[in-house]
Amino acid sequence: MLKTGYGGSGDGSSPLKLFTNAKKKINSIYGDIGKYVGDFEKFTEKVKTSEEKELIEKDLDDHIVTCLQKVSGIRDMLLRDHMKVVFFGRTSNGKSTVINAMLCDKILPSGLGHTTNCFLSIEGCKDKDGAYLLCAGSDEKRNVQSVSQLGHALSQESMSNDSLIRIMWPKNKCTLLKHEVVLVDSPGIDVTEDMDNWIDQYCLDADVFVLVANAESTLMLAEKKFFHKVNTRLSKPNIFILNNRWDASAAEPELMEQVRAQHLKRGISFLADELGVVSAQQAEDRVFFVSAKEALNARLQKLRGMPESGGALAEGFKARLLEFCTFEHNFEECISRSATRTKFHQHTQGAQSIVDSFTEYASNLLDKASNMKAECDGCNEEVELKIAFIEKNIKLLTAQVKEAITRLVEETEFQVRQAMSDEIRRLSLLVDEFDKPFHQNQMVLQVYKDELYRHVEEVLGRNLATRCSASLKIQINLSKERMVKEAQPLFDCKSNGNETQLQIPESTFEVSYDINCSNLCSDFREDIEFKFSLGFRCLINRFIGGRRPLAVSDSPVPRPLPTSQEMTPRQSDGTSMEDVAWGIAAGYIKTKGKNSASLALGVVMVPYALYKTVGWRILVFGVASYGALYLYERLTWTSRAQEKALKRQFVEHASEKLDLVTSFTSSNCSHQVQQELSTGFAQICHKVDEINKELRAESEDLKSKSDRLAALQSELKTLRNKAHFLSSDIGGFVANYLKMDL
């Protein structure tokens, strides 16, 4: 039940709280939206400086800027939002008195001599500022301390009836002002014909209109006309009709009910039928019979701690006061809901559209980031497969190539050994081809020998090259081609996708046989002194046995390389062990030949025995033949014969030496082939390794990109969830403040 002291009794249960709470809430929602858009902006700025900048499109930047401006604009607007009630009625109907009663204070001057001749608004201001006036077109604050001062100030102003004076009154003094209600008093509706101008200037943002009528008369045409005009400009304006001065009816109690019923009927008919702003039933709650004067006095009395009635209790005072309170309650409910709805409905829609747009942006970005991550992970999987493929196949390829190289190396060794053996066998022919002039003079002979070595070296090298090099080159190239072909699939794994043919530099490989004849034959000592074939020494030598003939090595292939000692069969002084043995043997024979008496006896006794046996003729013939043979051999021991002997000795010597180095040369050649192929394969491995490195780097890049995208996804999910949370907050606001039943 309403208490008669409603207007001045605190604001614990005031319906006006709906507006202030709604304002606070929508303001906080906009605050959250502003923060959210700020977070979104930070997120986009961060992404724009990262490698994923393609995620952010230009329109998002523009949208963020627009929304931030919009949010800030709406928050400013919210600060200025208030509830507005405009009081209309003919002059002296008691508009100012009603306003004062509602504010529980004599703020507006009323009564005779204080007719309001312009619009006056009463707004709350900060308590510390105190009361002041703001006149139309001026920002100058004019302090007023009392009603009389205000009345005096207002009477000083020569204002047109459509101008406005704003009275700023400390909020804490009045509950309505505290709840951001702005009350506007108008000049008497009967003083102007220019109602349209009034409506344009002061009524379009009004939440409630209060028509202060005089209960002692009926609604005048001017009053009705004004509200008809308002009704055409605003959709279903909230109008209250206060039949003021109802205390006067107490003087005629017998007519009171009849007059009340008549006024009520006309009021309801005006609101429901003529204007159509409410139903007839609702209209009953919009028409009141009050005495503003009594209400004001009662409240002032109460504030002073005096009885509300002021001592003399007029007839029906309590009922009128209660009805005034009922009016106030209905008015507060109506203005609060209406203002909340009209003021915040649009803001709610604006907030929802901002939040929806960011929900969409966050979802789209999330989809985009998810697609990019999936693509990135797919690429990385592909790259990792390539790496695994390369690592597995390079091992297989290495094993294959190793085997192939070993095979070719063995083949080369065999081929070169075979070729050298053949050449050694043909060495005498090769030496015979040498036809440089020969002379037994030591110096000329040395030149001859040097030339011979060079000739052998050249021709032998050429022959070996002809026999082996071409086929070796072909086999090497074939092996290389095979390597390249086998490695091509690995090369095809190249990360940049530009698959090209694997190439290794063209080989200019030539097998070097490295037969240094001069070195090999440095110990060669020719023996071209004349030796009679039936001479005593020759016979003895023949009797003991000739020098061991040089044998062509027939050792099987492969065989171990000669050791360094074997490679230098001559000792440092140029005498072989064999020669030393022969020397000792010859010395022994010589010693035996000189010192043995029996041998000397034999030498004398043999011719004597022959003489006795065959006779002197045969002996002379024998001696003559012996001498002739000696002469023949001595005469035929020409330079040509000496050259032949030298060549024969050289062939024997060189064959033996070459035979000794065959193994070494063939190993050397096979080693060269091995080197060549290994180098080629190493080049391939190097290139494959580079590809592998590239792929690993690419995989690392893709992994870190995927991680970054995962982080972005999580941030975007948070942003999307925040948008959903804001959206439900707005939904809650709509349900709590905008969809309430009246």
Q: Which of 4, 117, 249, 291 binds ligand GDP (CB under 6 A)?
A: 291
Minimum gap (Å) between residue 183 Cβ and ligand GDP: 12
Cα(516)–Cα(665) distance, rounded to whole angstroms? Answer: 11
- Show the binding pattern over residues 30-69: x = contacts ligand GDP (CB under 6 A), - = does not: ----------------------------------------
Q: Which of 14, 20, 116, 642 binds ligand GDP (CB under 6 A)?
A: 116
Q: Which of 95, 166, 341, 720 binds ligand GDP (CB under 6 A)?
A: 95
- Please tell me whether residue 571 adopts helix, strand or coil conformation: coil
Question: Which of 299, 301, 247, 288 is closest to 102 using CA atoms?
Answer: 299
Closest to ligand GDP by CB, 34 or 94: 94
Q: Are strands 141-143 and 132-135 parallel, antiparallel or unpaired?
A: antiparallel
Q: Which two tokens stand for residue 158?
A: 């020569």
Closest to ligand GDP by CB, 96 or 668: 96
User: Is position 365 an interface residue for ligand GDP (rule: CB under 6 A)?
Assistant: no
The 8 Å CB, 24+ separation contacts for 572-579 are 574/523, 574/525, 576/523, 578/548
User: Is position 292 an interface residue for ligand GDP (rule: CB under 6 A)?
Assistant: yes
Q: Which residue's structure tokens are 């011719």?
A: 607
Minimum gap (Å) between residue 312 Cβ and ligand GDP: 14
Closest to ligand GDP by CB, 243 or 668: 243
Answer yes or no: are the C-beta atoms of 506 and 683 closer than 8 Å.
Answer: no
Answer yes or no: are the C-beta atoms of 326 and 2 closer than 8 Å.
Answer: yes
Q: Which stretch binds ligand GDP (CB under 6 A): 17-25, 36-44, 94-102, 423-431?
A: 94-102
Answer yes or no: are the C-beta atoms of 31 and 75 closer than 8 Å.
Answer: yes
Q: Which stretch binds ligand GDP (CB under 6 A): 87-95, 124-132, 647-655, 700-708?
A: 87-95
Minimum gap (Å) between residue 723 Cβ and ligand GDP: 52
User: Is position 96 an interface residue for ligand GDP (rule: CB under 6 A)?
Assistant: yes
Minimum gap (Å) between residue 218 Cβ and ligand GDP: 17
Q: Which stretch binds ligand GDP (CB under 6 A): 85-93, 117-125, 617-625, 683-691?
A: 85-93
Minimum gap (Å) between residue 160 Cβ and ligand GDP: 17
Answer yes or no: are the C-beta atoms of 188 and 219 closer than 8 Å.
Answer: no
Give the DSSP H/E element, type plus range, for residue 510. none
Cα(176)–Cα(122) distance, rounded to whole angstroms? Answer: 10
DSSP letter string over 47-79? Answer: HHTSTTGGGS-HHHHHHHHHHHHHHHHHHHHHH
Cα(60)–Cα(609) distance, rounded to whole angstroms? Answer: 139
DSSP type of residue 522: T
- Show the binding pattern over residues 217-256: x = contacts ligand GDP (CB under 6 A), - = does not: ---------------------------xx-xx--------
Q: Which stretch binds ligand GDP (CB under 6 A): 88-96, 133-141, 551-559, 566-574?
A: 88-96
Minimum gap (Å) between residue 103 Cβ and ligand GDP: 13
Q: Which of 92, 117, 663, 667 binds ligand GDP (CB under 6 A)?
A: 92
Minimum gap (Å) between residue 248 Cβ and ligand GDP: 6
Closest to ligand GDP by CB, 321 or 416: 321
Minimum gap (Å) between residue 188 Cβ and ligand GDP: 6
Minimum gap (Å) between residue 171 Cβ and ligand GDP: 23
Q: Which of 31, 38, 111, 378 binds ligand GDP (CB under 6 A)?
A: 111
Count interface residues toward ligand GDP (CB under 6 A): 20
- Please tell me whether residue 417 adopts helix, strand or coil conformation: helix
Residues paired with 240 in a beta bridge:
210
Minimum gap (Å) between residue 292 Cβ and ligand GDP: 4
Question: Which of 320, 118, 300 is closest to 215 using CA atoms?
Answer: 320
Closest to ligand GDP by CB, 96 or 699: 96
Touching ligand GDP, residues 293-332 (CB under 6 A): 293
Touching ligand GDP, residues 436-455 (CB under 6 A): none
Minimum gap (Å) between residue 98 Cβ and ligand GDP: 7
Q: Which stretch binds ligand GDP (CB under 6 A): 31-39, 78-86, 287-295, 545-553?
A: 287-295
Buried b vs exposed e over 567-598: b needs ≥16 C-beta within 10 Å? eeeeeeeeeeeeeeeeeeeeeeeeeeeeeeee
Answer yes or no: are the C-beta atoms of 354 and 37 closer than 8 Å.
Answer: yes
Cα(55)–Cα(9) distance, rounded to whole angstroms? Answer: 60
Which strands sit side by side in the sheet containing 208-214, from one edge to the other? Answer: 141-143, 132-135, 164-170, 119-125, 181-185, 83-88, 208-214, 238-244, 287-289
Closest to ligand GDP by CB, 112 or 443: 112
User: Is position 94 an interface residue for ligand GDP (rule: CB under 6 A)?
Assistant: yes
3 state SS for 578-603: HHHHHHHHHHHHHHHHHHCHHHHHHH
Give the DSSP H/E element, type plus range, for residue 568. none
Minimum gap (Å) between residue 351 Cβ and ligand GDP: 41
Q: Are strands 208-214 and 238-244 parallel, antiparallel or unpaired?
A: parallel
User: Is position 110 an interface residue for ligand GDP (rule: CB under 6 A)?
Assistant: yes
Closest to ligand GDP by CB, 14 or 243: 243
Residues forming contacts to ligand GDP in the complex (CB under 6 A) are 89, 91-97, 110-111, 114-116, 244-245, 247-248, 291-293
